[in-house]
Structure 1
Amino acid sequence: MLDAAPLGFVHGPEDLVVDEHGQPRRIDHAYSWAYPLAAHGMMHTVIRNAWAGDPYKIDTLLMFMANMSWNSAMNTGQTMQWLTDKDEAGEYRIPRIIYSDAYASEMVAYADLVLPDTTYLERFDAISLLDRPISDADGASDAIRHPLFDPATQGDDGDARDVRGFQSVLIELGTRLGLPGLVNEDGSARYRDYADYIVRHERAPGVGLLAGWRGEDGSQHGKGTPNPDQLQRYIDNGGFWREELPEHARYYKMANRGYLQWAQRFGFVPNDAPIVLQLYS
Protein backbone atom coordinates (compact mmCIF):
# COMPACT_ATOMS: atom_id res chain seq x y z
CA MET A 1 0.00 0.00 0.00
CA LEU A 2 1.44 3.35 -1.04
CA ASP A 3 1.79 6.10 1.54
CA ALA A 4 0.94 8.85 -0.95
CA ALA A 5 -2.16 10.45 -2.42
CA PRO A 6 -3.40 8.80 -5.65
CA LEU A 7 -3.94 12.14 -7.39
CA GLY A 8 -2.80 15.72 -6.97
CA PHE A 9 -0.14 18.27 -7.81
CA VAL A 10 3.50 18.08 -6.78
CA HIS A 11 5.14 21.14 -5.24
CA GLY A 12 8.68 19.79 -5.22
CA PRO A 13 10.84 16.65 -5.44
CA GLU A 14 9.75 15.67 -1.93
CA ASP A 15 6.25 14.98 -3.30
CA LEU A 16 7.42 12.42 -5.89
CA VAL A 17 6.42 8.79 -5.38
CA VAL A 18 9.85 7.19 -5.83
CA ASP A 19 12.06 4.85 -3.82
CA GLU A 20 15.45 5.59 -2.28
CA HIS A 21 17.05 5.07 -5.70
CA GLY A 22 14.70 7.50 -7.44
CA GLN A 23 12.79 4.70 -9.20
CA PRO A 24 8.97 4.69 -9.60
CA ARG A 25 6.90 3.11 -6.84
CA ARG A 26 3.61 3.13 -8.76
CA ILE A 27 2.80 0.64 -11.50
CA ASP A 28 1.89 3.53 -13.82
CA HIS A 29 5.11 5.50 -13.02
CA ALA A 30 2.99 8.55 -12.11
CA TYR A 31 4.74 11.13 -9.91
CA SER A 32 8.13 9.70 -10.80
CA TRP A 33 10.98 11.63 -12.37
CA ALA A 34 9.63 10.48 -15.75
CA TYR A 35 6.10 11.87 -15.17
CA PRO A 36 6.28 14.30 -12.23
CA LEU A 37 3.16 16.28 -13.18
CA ALA A 38 0.78 13.35 -13.72
CA ALA A 39 -2.13 15.08 -11.97
CA HIS A 40 -4.61 12.33 -12.89
CA GLY A 41 -2.23 9.40 -12.98
CA MET A 42 -0.92 7.57 -16.05
CA MET A 43 -3.58 4.92 -16.61
CA HIS A 44 -2.63 4.32 -20.23
CA THR A 45 0.77 2.97 -19.10
CA VAL A 46 -0.60 0.46 -16.57
CA ILE A 47 -1.18 -2.48 -18.93
CA ARG A 48 2.23 -2.18 -20.57
CA ASN A 49 4.00 -1.88 -17.21
CA ALA A 50 2.02 -4.77 -15.72
CA TRP A 51 3.01 -6.90 -18.72
CA ALA A 52 6.67 -5.89 -18.35
CA GLY A 53 6.74 -6.22 -14.55
CA ASP A 54 7.97 -2.62 -14.34
CA PRO A 55 8.62 -1.65 -11.56
CA TYR A 56 7.17 -4.89 -10.15
CA LYS A 57 4.97 -7.80 -11.17
CA ILE A 58 1.31 -7.84 -10.20
CA ASP A 59 -1.06 -10.79 -9.82
CA THR A 60 -4.33 -8.96 -10.52
CA LEU A 61 -5.26 -5.99 -12.69
CA LEU A 62 -8.54 -4.31 -11.66
CA MET A 63 -10.00 -1.71 -14.03
CA PHE A 64 -13.20 0.31 -14.32
CA MET A 65 -14.58 2.69 -16.96
CA ALA A 66 -11.46 2.34 -19.08
CA ASN A 67 -11.91 0.38 -22.30
CA MET A 68 -8.17 0.00 -22.65
CA SER A 69 -8.21 -2.81 -25.20
CA TRP A 70 -9.89 -0.52 -27.68
CA ASN A 71 -10.86 3.16 -27.67
CA SER A 72 -8.93 4.24 -24.54
CA ALA A 73 -5.57 2.92 -25.74
CA MET A 74 -3.07 4.79 -27.89
CA ASN A 75 -1.92 1.47 -29.37
CA THR A 76 -4.79 -1.01 -29.57
CA GLY A 77 -2.91 -3.82 -31.33
CA GLN A 78 -0.05 -4.01 -28.86
CA THR A 79 -2.37 -3.45 -25.90
CA MET A 80 -4.39 -6.53 -26.86
CA GLN A 81 -1.13 -8.46 -27.22
CA TRP A 82 -0.02 -7.42 -23.72
CA LEU A 83 -3.35 -8.57 -22.28
CA THR A 84 -2.97 -12.08 -23.73
CA ASP A 85 0.81 -12.61 -23.75
CA LYS A 86 2.28 -15.58 -21.87
CA ASP A 87 5.67 -16.20 -20.31
CA GLU A 88 8.10 -19.08 -20.93
CA ALA A 89 6.10 -21.31 -18.57
CA GLY A 90 2.90 -20.74 -20.50
CA GLU A 91 1.34 -18.53 -17.81
CA TYR A 92 -0.25 -15.18 -18.56
CA ARG A 93 2.13 -12.32 -17.88
CA ILE A 94 -0.84 -10.49 -16.36
CA PRO A 95 -2.26 -13.43 -14.39
CA ARG A 96 -5.75 -12.13 -13.59
CA ILE A 97 -7.86 -9.29 -14.96
CA ILE A 98 -10.98 -7.99 -13.21
CA TYR A 99 -13.12 -5.50 -15.08
CA SER A 100 -16.35 -3.69 -14.27
CA ASP A 101 -18.68 -2.54 -17.03
CA ALA A 102 -22.37 -2.18 -17.78
CA TYR A 103 -21.92 -3.44 -21.34
CA ALA A 104 -20.04 -6.14 -23.24
CA SER A 105 -17.20 -3.79 -24.15
CA GLU A 106 -13.98 -4.88 -25.82
CA MET A 107 -12.22 -4.97 -22.44
CA VAL A 108 -14.78 -7.40 -21.02
CA ALA A 109 -13.52 -10.01 -23.50
CA TYR A 110 -10.10 -10.03 -21.77
CA ALA A 111 -11.39 -10.23 -18.19
CA ASP A 112 -11.26 -13.29 -15.95
CA LEU A 113 -13.95 -11.78 -13.71
CA VAL A 114 -16.56 -9.23 -14.76
CA LEU A 115 -18.35 -7.14 -12.12
CA PRO A 116 -21.66 -6.03 -13.70
CA ASP A 117 -21.99 -2.27 -13.28
CA THR A 118 -25.05 -0.06 -13.43
CA THR A 119 -25.68 2.46 -16.16
CA TYR A 120 -25.57 6.19 -15.45
CA LEU A 121 -29.36 6.17 -15.13
CA GLU A 122 -29.30 3.67 -12.25
CA ARG A 123 -26.84 5.08 -9.72
CA PHE A 124 -25.59 8.12 -7.87
CA ASP A 125 -22.46 9.93 -9.09
CA ALA A 126 -20.78 13.14 -8.01
CA ILE A 127 -19.32 15.55 -10.56
CA SER A 128 -17.29 17.03 -7.75
CA LEU A 129 -15.24 20.18 -7.17
CA LEU A 130 -12.56 17.77 -5.93
CA ASP A 131 -12.09 16.31 -9.41
CA ARG A 132 -13.48 17.64 -12.71
CA PRO A 133 -16.55 19.77 -11.96
CA ILE A 134 -18.82 21.76 -14.25
CA SER A 135 -17.46 25.10 -13.00
CA ASP A 136 -16.32 27.96 -15.18
CA ALA A 137 -14.25 31.08 -14.63
CA ASP A 138 -17.22 33.04 -13.27
CA GLY A 139 -18.43 30.64 -10.60
CA ALA A 140 -18.16 27.32 -8.81
CA SER A 141 -20.51 24.51 -9.82
CA ASP A 142 -20.86 20.83 -9.18
CA ALA A 143 -23.52 18.26 -9.94
CA ILE A 144 -24.80 14.75 -9.36
CA ARG A 145 -26.28 11.93 -11.34
CA HIS A 146 -29.15 10.16 -9.61
CA PRO A 147 -31.12 7.01 -10.36
CA LEU A 148 -34.03 7.28 -12.75
CA PHE A 149 -34.56 3.53 -12.98
CA ASP A 150 -34.23 0.68 -10.52
CA PRO A 151 -32.06 -2.13 -12.01
CA ALA A 152 -34.48 -4.62 -10.44
CA THR A 153 -37.20 -3.49 -12.87
CA GLN A 154 -35.15 -3.45 -16.08
CA GLY A 155 -34.80 -7.12 -16.97
CA ASP A 156 -36.40 -8.10 -20.28
CA ASP A 157 -37.29 -11.54 -18.91
CA GLY A 158 -38.89 -10.20 -15.75
CA ASP A 159 -35.90 -11.11 -13.57
CA ALA A 160 -34.02 -8.43 -11.67
CA ARG A 161 -30.67 -7.46 -13.17
CA ASP A 162 -27.85 -8.51 -10.83
CA VAL A 163 -25.84 -5.28 -11.02
CA ARG A 164 -24.34 -2.82 -8.55
CA GLY A 165 -22.72 0.57 -8.94
CA PHE A 166 -18.97 0.01 -9.04
CA GLN A 167 -18.23 2.76 -6.54
CA SER A 168 -20.44 0.99 -3.99
CA VAL A 169 -18.64 -2.27 -4.78
CA LEU A 170 -15.26 -0.60 -4.17
CA ILE A 171 -16.49 0.71 -0.82
CA GLU A 172 -17.60 -2.78 0.20
CA LEU A 173 -14.33 -4.34 -0.93
CA GLY A 174 -12.38 -1.73 1.02
CA THR A 175 -14.57 -2.38 4.05
CA ARG A 176 -13.99 -6.13 3.86
CA LEU A 177 -10.25 -5.48 3.65
CA GLY A 178 -10.43 -3.12 6.62
CA LEU A 179 -8.88 -0.22 4.73
CA PRO A 180 -8.40 3.01 6.69
CA GLY A 181 -11.21 5.51 6.24
CA LEU A 182 -13.76 2.86 5.27
CA VAL A 183 -14.27 1.16 8.63
CA ASN A 184 -15.12 2.35 12.11
CA GLU A 185 -12.93 1.61 15.12
CA ASP A 186 -14.87 -1.62 15.76
CA GLY A 187 -14.31 -2.75 12.16
CA SER A 188 -17.87 -2.13 11.01
CA ALA A 189 -18.65 -0.42 7.72
CA ARG A 190 -18.39 3.36 7.85
CA TYR A 191 -20.45 3.90 4.69
CA ARG A 192 -23.58 2.09 3.52
CA ASP A 193 -22.91 2.66 -0.20
CA TYR A 194 -21.59 5.32 -2.56
CA ALA A 195 -24.56 7.64 -2.04
CA ASP A 196 -23.85 7.59 1.70
CA TYR A 197 -20.16 8.22 0.96
CA ILE A 198 -20.98 11.23 -1.23
CA VAL A 199 -22.93 12.82 1.61
CA ARG A 200 -20.81 11.94 4.65
CA HIS A 201 -17.19 11.69 3.49
CA GLU A 202 -15.05 14.72 4.30
CA ARG A 203 -11.67 15.22 2.62
CA ALA A 204 -10.93 17.91 5.20
CA PRO A 205 -13.13 19.34 7.96
CA GLY A 206 -16.22 20.70 6.21
CA VAL A 207 -14.97 19.77 2.72
CA GLY A 208 -16.90 16.98 1.04
CA LEU A 209 -17.55 15.71 -2.46
CA LEU A 210 -20.36 18.23 -2.98
CA ALA A 211 -20.24 21.92 -2.08
CA GLY A 212 -23.94 22.75 -2.17
CA TRP A 213 -26.41 22.70 0.70
CA ARG A 214 -23.99 21.69 3.43
CA GLY A 215 -24.55 21.98 7.18
CA GLU A 216 -27.23 20.15 9.12
CA ASP A 217 -29.97 22.41 7.72
CA GLY A 218 -28.47 22.83 4.24
CA SER A 219 -27.83 26.55 4.67
CA GLN A 220 -24.07 26.46 4.06
CA HIS A 221 -22.26 26.35 0.73
CA GLY A 222 -18.65 25.51 0.00
CA LYS A 223 -17.69 24.21 3.44
CA GLY A 224 -19.93 22.81 6.16
CA THR A 225 -20.81 19.68 8.05
CA PRO A 226 -22.55 16.87 6.15
CA ASN A 227 -26.24 17.34 5.41
CA PRO A 228 -28.24 14.08 5.32
CA ASP A 229 -30.71 15.68 2.87
CA GLN A 230 -28.03 17.00 0.51
CA LEU A 231 -28.72 14.66 -2.41
CA GLN A 232 -32.43 15.46 -2.34
CA ARG A 233 -31.62 19.18 -2.41
CA TYR A 234 -29.57 18.58 -5.57
CA ILE A 235 -32.39 16.57 -7.14
CA ASP A 236 -34.89 19.33 -6.31
CA ASN A 237 -32.57 21.85 -8.03
CA GLY A 238 -32.23 19.88 -11.25
CA GLY A 239 -29.15 17.91 -10.20
CA PHE A 240 -26.65 20.75 -9.89
CA TRP A 241 -25.46 23.57 -7.62
CA ARG A 242 -23.72 26.83 -8.48
CA GLU A 243 -22.43 29.95 -6.74
CA GLU A 244 -21.44 32.93 -8.85
CA LEU A 245 -18.21 34.76 -8.20
CA PRO A 246 -18.70 38.42 -7.23
CA GLU A 247 -17.98 40.65 -10.21
CA HIS A 248 -14.95 42.22 -8.52
CA ALA A 249 -13.44 38.79 -7.83
CA ARG A 250 -13.34 37.51 -11.41
CA TYR A 251 -10.05 38.99 -12.59
CA TYR A 252 -6.36 38.74 -11.67
CA LYS A 253 -7.31 36.01 -9.25
CA MET A 254 -3.83 35.15 -8.05
CA ALA A 255 -3.65 38.55 -6.31
CA ASN A 256 -7.32 39.55 -6.06
CA ARG A 257 -8.16 39.73 -2.36
CA GLY A 258 -11.88 39.37 -3.05
CA TYR A 259 -11.30 36.15 -4.98
CA LEU A 260 -8.75 34.77 -2.52
CA GLN A 261 -11.08 35.31 0.43
CA TRP A 262 -13.90 33.65 -1.52
CA ALA A 263 -11.61 30.74 -2.44
CA GLN A 264 -10.48 30.36 1.17
CA ARG A 265 -14.11 30.12 2.30
CA PHE A 266 -14.59 27.27 -0.14
CA GLY A 267 -11.41 25.49 0.92
CA PHE A 268 -9.71 25.99 -2.46
CA VAL A 269 -6.71 27.68 -0.81
CA PRO A 270 -5.54 27.59 2.83
CA ASN A 271 -5.37 31.38 3.23
CA ASP A 272 -6.00 34.61 1.35
CA ALA A 273 -2.35 35.48 0.70
CA PRO A 274 -1.47 36.36 -2.92
CA ILE A 275 -0.30 33.41 -5.01
CA VAL A 276 3.16 34.12 -6.41
CA LEU A 277 3.71 32.68 -9.88
CA GLN A 278 7.26 31.47 -10.43
CA LEU A 279 8.15 30.98 -14.08
CA TYR A 280 11.31 29.24 -15.27
CA SER A 281 12.79 29.14 -18.73
Structure 2
Amino acid sequence: MTKIEKQLEQARIDLDAANKDLRALDAAKAEALKSSKAYAEWRAAVDTKTLERERLESVVSTTEAEVERAAQVDAANALRKRRAGLEKASAELAQRITREGAAAAAVLVELAELAKENSDMVEALNRELPDSDRLMTGDFRARHRDPAPRQNLEETTVDLWVFESSGDLVGDQDAVRELSYERGVIPGAQRNIPVLRKRFRQIRYLEPGDREHAEPLSSVLRLPRFDAPGLLFDRGRVVETSPRRELLELMPESIAKTAANEAA
Protein backbone atom coordinates (compact mmCIF):
# COMPACT_ATOMS: atom_id res chain seq x y z
CA MET A 1 0.00 0.00 0.00
CA THR A 2 1.38 3.40 -1.01
CA LYS A 3 1.64 6.40 1.30
CA ILE A 4 -1.30 8.19 -0.35
CA GLU A 5 -3.44 5.02 -0.07
CA LYS A 6 -2.63 4.80 3.65
CA GLN A 7 -3.69 8.44 4.06
CA LEU A 8 -6.97 7.70 2.28
CA GLU A 9 -7.62 4.68 4.48
CA GLN A 10 -7.03 6.74 7.65
CA ALA A 11 -9.22 9.58 6.40
CA ARG A 12 -12.08 7.14 5.78
CA ILE A 13 -11.66 5.69 9.28
CA ASP A 14 -11.75 9.20 10.79
CA LEU A 15 -14.83 10.09 8.72
CA ASP A 16 -16.66 6.98 9.93
CA ALA A 17 -15.79 7.92 13.51
CA ALA A 18 -17.08 11.48 13.01
CA ASN A 19 -20.37 10.17 11.59
CA LYS A 20 -20.75 7.83 14.57
CA ASP A 21 -20.14 10.75 16.97
CA LEU A 22 -22.75 12.84 15.19
CA ARG A 23 -25.29 10.01 15.39
CA ALA A 24 -24.57 9.70 19.11
CA LEU A 25 -25.03 13.47 19.55
CA ASP A 26 -28.30 13.32 17.66
CA ALA A 27 -29.51 10.62 20.04
CA ALA A 28 -28.51 12.81 23.00
CA LYS A 29 -30.41 15.90 21.76
CA ALA A 30 -33.55 15.21 23.81
CA GLU A 31 -31.53 15.06 27.02
CA ALA A 32 -29.60 18.25 26.13
CA LEU A 33 -32.84 20.19 25.66
CA LYS A 34 -33.56 19.95 29.41
CA SER A 35 -31.23 22.86 30.23
CA SER A 36 -29.76 25.87 28.46
CA LYS A 37 -26.22 25.00 29.49
CA ALA A 38 -26.50 21.38 28.36
CA TYR A 39 -28.04 22.44 25.08
CA ALA A 40 -25.30 25.02 24.45
CA GLU A 41 -22.64 22.41 25.07
CA TRP A 42 -24.50 19.96 22.85
CA ARG A 43 -24.87 22.57 20.09
CA ALA A 44 -21.17 23.44 20.25
CA ALA A 45 -20.21 19.76 20.06
CA VAL A 46 -22.51 19.22 17.06
CA ASP A 47 -21.06 22.23 15.23
CA THR A 48 -17.51 21.09 15.94
CA LYS A 49 -18.18 17.55 14.74
CA THR A 50 -20.11 18.80 11.69
CA LEU A 51 -17.17 20.99 10.65
CA GLU A 52 -14.79 18.07 11.22
CA ARG A 53 -16.99 15.79 9.10
CA GLU A 54 -17.04 18.35 6.28
CA ARG A 55 -13.25 18.62 6.48
CA LEU A 56 -12.82 14.85 6.42
CA GLU A 57 -15.24 14.50 3.49
CA SER A 58 -13.11 16.99 1.57
CA VAL A 59 -9.94 15.12 2.56
CA VAL A 60 -11.42 11.80 1.40
CA SER A 61 -12.65 13.29 -1.89
CA THR A 62 -9.32 15.00 -2.62
CA THR A 63 -7.27 11.97 -1.66
CA GLU A 64 -9.44 9.65 -3.75
CA ALA A 65 -8.80 11.88 -6.75
CA GLU A 66 -5.05 11.76 -6.04
CA VAL A 67 -5.14 7.98 -5.75
CA GLU A 68 -7.04 7.75 -9.06
CA ARG A 69 -4.52 10.03 -10.79
CA ALA A 70 -1.64 7.99 -9.37
CA ALA A 71 -3.31 4.77 -10.58
CA GLN A 72 -3.73 6.27 -14.06
CA VAL A 73 -0.07 7.30 -14.12
CA ASP A 74 0.99 3.82 -12.98
CA ALA A 75 -1.23 2.21 -15.62
CA ALA A 76 0.19 4.46 -18.34
CA ASN A 77 3.75 3.69 -17.24
CA ALA A 78 2.98 -0.04 -17.19
CA LEU A 79 1.46 0.17 -20.68
CA ARG A 80 4.52 2.00 -22.01
CA LYS A 81 6.76 -0.61 -20.41
CA ARG A 82 4.75 -3.46 -21.97
CA ARG A 83 4.86 -1.74 -25.35
CA ALA A 84 8.62 -1.24 -25.15
CA GLY A 85 9.13 -4.87 -24.16
CA LEU A 86 6.90 -6.18 -26.93
CA GLU A 87 8.50 -3.87 -29.49
CA LYS A 88 11.93 -5.22 -28.53
CA ALA A 89 10.69 -8.82 -28.71
CA SER A 90 9.09 -8.17 -32.12
CA ALA A 91 12.30 -6.65 -33.48
CA GLU A 92 14.33 -9.61 -32.24
CA LEU A 93 11.80 -12.04 -33.74
CA ALA A 94 11.93 -10.21 -37.08
CA GLN A 95 15.70 -10.64 -37.16
CA ARG A 96 15.38 -14.34 -36.34
CA ILE A 97 12.72 -14.85 -39.02
CA THR A 98 14.92 -13.21 -41.63
CA ARG A 99 18.14 -14.90 -40.54
CA GLU A 100 17.08 -18.35 -39.32
CA GLY A 101 14.04 -18.65 -41.56
CA ALA A 102 16.07 -17.96 -44.68
CA ALA A 103 18.69 -20.51 -43.61
CA ALA A 104 16.04 -23.16 -42.88
CA ALA A 105 14.28 -22.46 -46.17
CA ALA A 106 17.53 -22.85 -48.09
CA VAL A 107 18.03 -26.30 -46.56
CA LEU A 108 14.44 -27.35 -47.31
CA VAL A 109 14.61 -26.13 -50.91
CA GLU A 110 17.87 -28.00 -51.41
CA LEU A 111 16.33 -31.19 -49.96
CA ALA A 112 13.25 -30.87 -52.17
CA GLU A 113 15.36 -30.41 -55.29
CA LEU A 114 17.65 -33.29 -54.35
CA ALA A 115 14.61 -35.49 -53.66
CA LYS A 116 13.19 -34.69 -57.09
CA GLU A 117 16.51 -35.39 -58.78
CA ASN A 118 16.92 -38.66 -56.85
CA SER A 119 13.37 -39.72 -57.68
CA ASP A 120 13.93 -39.17 -61.41
CA MET A 121 17.19 -41.13 -61.34
CA VAL A 122 15.68 -44.04 -59.36
CA GLU A 123 12.67 -44.18 -61.66
CA ALA A 124 14.90 -44.29 -64.72
CA LEU A 125 17.09 -47.03 -63.26
CA ASN A 126 14.14 -49.10 -62.07
CA ARG A 127 12.93 -49.38 -65.64
CA GLU A 128 16.10 -51.40 -66.36
CA LEU A 129 15.92 -53.57 -63.22
CA PRO A 130 13.77 -56.63 -62.48
CA ASP A 131 10.92 -56.10 -60.04
CA SER A 132 12.75 -57.99 -57.31
CA ASP A 133 15.70 -55.60 -57.49
CA ARG A 134 13.90 -52.27 -57.76
CA LEU A 135 15.16 -49.34 -55.65
CA MET A 136 13.25 -47.04 -53.31
CA THR A 137 13.79 -43.30 -53.51
CA GLY A 138 15.39 -41.39 -50.65
CA ASP A 139 12.16 -39.44 -50.18
CA PHE A 140 10.17 -42.70 -49.88
CA ARG A 141 12.68 -44.19 -47.44
CA ALA A 142 12.53 -41.10 -45.24
CA ARG A 143 8.79 -40.48 -45.15
CA HIS A 144 6.96 -43.73 -45.89
CA ARG A 145 5.48 -45.59 -42.95
CA ASP A 146 3.60 -48.89 -43.03
CA PRO A 147 0.16 -48.71 -41.41
CA ALA A 148 0.14 -49.48 -37.69
CA PRO A 149 -0.97 -53.08 -37.11
CA ARG A 150 -3.92 -54.08 -34.98
CA GLN A 151 -3.02 -53.99 -31.29
CA ASN A 152 -4.89 -56.13 -28.77
CA LEU A 153 -5.39 -54.33 -25.46
CA GLU A 154 -7.40 -56.73 -23.32
CA GLU A 155 -8.89 -60.22 -23.61
CA THR A 156 -11.66 -61.60 -21.39
CA THR A 157 -14.01 -64.60 -21.41
CA VAL A 158 -17.78 -63.90 -21.55
CA ASP A 159 -20.84 -66.16 -21.67
CA LEU A 160 -23.61 -64.90 -23.96
CA TRP A 161 -26.94 -66.16 -25.23
CA VAL A 162 -27.22 -67.33 -28.85
CA PHE A 163 -30.19 -68.65 -30.83
CA GLU A 164 -30.30 -72.45 -30.72
CA SER A 165 -31.43 -72.66 -34.35
CA SER A 166 -28.77 -70.46 -35.95
CA GLY A 167 -26.07 -69.84 -33.38
CA ASP A 168 -26.42 -66.06 -33.93
CA LEU A 169 -25.91 -63.78 -30.95
CA VAL A 170 -29.10 -62.59 -29.20
CA GLY A 171 -29.28 -58.84 -29.48
CA ASP A 172 -31.11 -58.21 -26.21
CA GLN A 173 -29.45 -60.48 -23.67
CA ASP A 174 -31.79 -59.23 -20.91
CA ALA A 175 -34.84 -60.57 -22.81
CA VAL A 176 -33.80 -64.17 -22.14
CA ARG A 177 -35.56 -66.12 -19.39
CA GLU A 178 -33.04 -68.54 -17.95
CA LEU A 179 -34.13 -72.17 -17.59
CA SER A 180 -30.68 -73.41 -16.56
CA TYR A 181 -27.20 -71.97 -16.89
CA GLU A 182 -26.84 -73.52 -20.35
CA ARG A 183 -30.39 -73.08 -21.68
CA GLY A 184 -33.07 -70.40 -21.82
CA VAL A 185 -35.96 -69.03 -23.85
CA ILE A 186 -37.13 -65.70 -25.23
CA PRO A 187 -40.87 -65.50 -24.41
CA GLY A 188 -43.08 -64.92 -27.45
CA ALA A 189 -46.77 -64.39 -28.15
CA GLN A 190 -47.14 -67.70 -30.07
CA ARG A 191 -44.16 -69.70 -28.84
CA ASN A 192 -40.96 -69.34 -26.88
CA ILE A 193 -37.69 -69.16 -28.80
CA PRO A 194 -35.01 -71.50 -27.42
CA VAL A 195 -31.54 -70.11 -26.80
CA LEU A 196 -28.24 -71.52 -25.56
CA ARG A 197 -25.48 -69.92 -23.50
CA LYS A 198 -22.18 -69.96 -25.36
CA ARG A 199 -18.68 -68.93 -24.26
CA PHE A 200 -16.80 -66.26 -26.23
CA ARG A 201 -13.43 -64.57 -26.12
CA GLN A 202 -13.97 -60.80 -25.95
CA ILE A 203 -11.03 -58.77 -27.23
CA ARG A 204 -10.64 -55.00 -26.88
CA TYR A 205 -8.18 -53.69 -29.48
CA LEU A 206 -6.90 -50.72 -31.48
CA GLU A 207 -7.86 -51.05 -35.11
CA PRO A 208 -5.12 -51.07 -37.78
CA GLY A 209 -4.00 -47.68 -39.01
CA ASP A 210 -4.99 -46.34 -42.42
CA ARG A 211 -2.53 -46.62 -45.28
CA GLU A 212 -1.38 -43.14 -46.31
CA HIS A 213 0.48 -42.28 -49.48
CA ALA A 214 3.44 -39.95 -49.04
CA GLU A 215 3.28 -37.36 -51.80
CA PRO A 216 6.70 -36.40 -53.21
CA LEU A 217 8.35 -33.77 -51.06
CA SER A 218 8.92 -31.38 -53.93
CA SER A 219 5.22 -31.53 -54.92
CA VAL A 220 3.84 -30.59 -51.49
CA LEU A 221 6.46 -28.17 -50.16
CA ARG A 222 5.52 -24.48 -50.15
CA LEU A 223 7.75 -21.93 -48.45
CA PRO A 224 7.32 -18.19 -47.97
CA ARG A 225 10.12 -15.72 -48.39
CA PHE A 226 11.48 -14.83 -44.98
CA ASP A 227 12.76 -11.37 -45.92
CA ALA A 228 9.93 -10.19 -48.19
CA PRO A 229 6.33 -10.97 -49.19
CA GLY A 230 5.54 -13.80 -51.56
CA LEU A 231 6.67 -17.39 -52.02
CA LEU A 232 10.21 -18.72 -52.24
CA PHE A 233 9.31 -22.28 -53.26
CA ASP A 234 5.98 -23.50 -54.60
CA ARG A 235 5.38 -27.23 -55.14
CA GLY A 236 8.47 -28.13 -57.09
CA ARG A 237 9.72 -24.82 -58.39
CA VAL A 238 11.75 -21.94 -57.04
CA VAL A 239 9.74 -18.74 -57.41
CA GLU A 240 11.75 -15.88 -58.83
CA THR A 241 10.82 -12.32 -57.92
CA SER A 242 9.44 -10.27 -60.78
CA PRO A 243 11.90 -7.57 -61.92
CA ARG A 244 10.73 -3.99 -61.84
CA ARG A 245 9.76 -2.76 -65.28
CA GLU A 246 11.34 0.29 -66.85
CA LEU A 247 8.65 2.49 -68.46
CA LEU A 248 8.46 5.75 -70.42
CA GLU A 249 6.02 8.55 -69.81
CA LEU A 250 5.24 11.48 -72.08
CA MET A 251 3.66 14.71 -70.88
CA PRO A 252 3.43 18.26 -72.24
CA GLU A 253 6.41 20.43 -71.25
CA SER A 254 4.18 22.89 -69.37
CA ILE A 255 2.78 20.13 -67.16
CA ALA A 256 6.27 18.71 -66.60
CA LYS A 257 7.57 22.08 -65.39
CA THR A 258 4.61 22.47 -63.01
CA ALA A 259 5.19 19.00 -61.60
CA ALA A 260 8.90 19.71 -61.16
CA ASN A 261 8.17 22.98 -59.32
CA GLU A 262 5.69 21.29 -57.02
CA ALA A 263 8.21 18.53 -56.25
CA ALA A 264 10.86 21.14 -55.41
- Normalised by the length of structure 2, the TM-score is 0.20
Instruction: Determine which structure has greater relative contact order: mean sequence separation of CA pairs < 8 Å that are 6+ residues apart, divided by chain length.
Output: 2
- Normalised by the length of structure 1, the TM-score is 0.19
Which structure has the bigger radius of gyration? 2
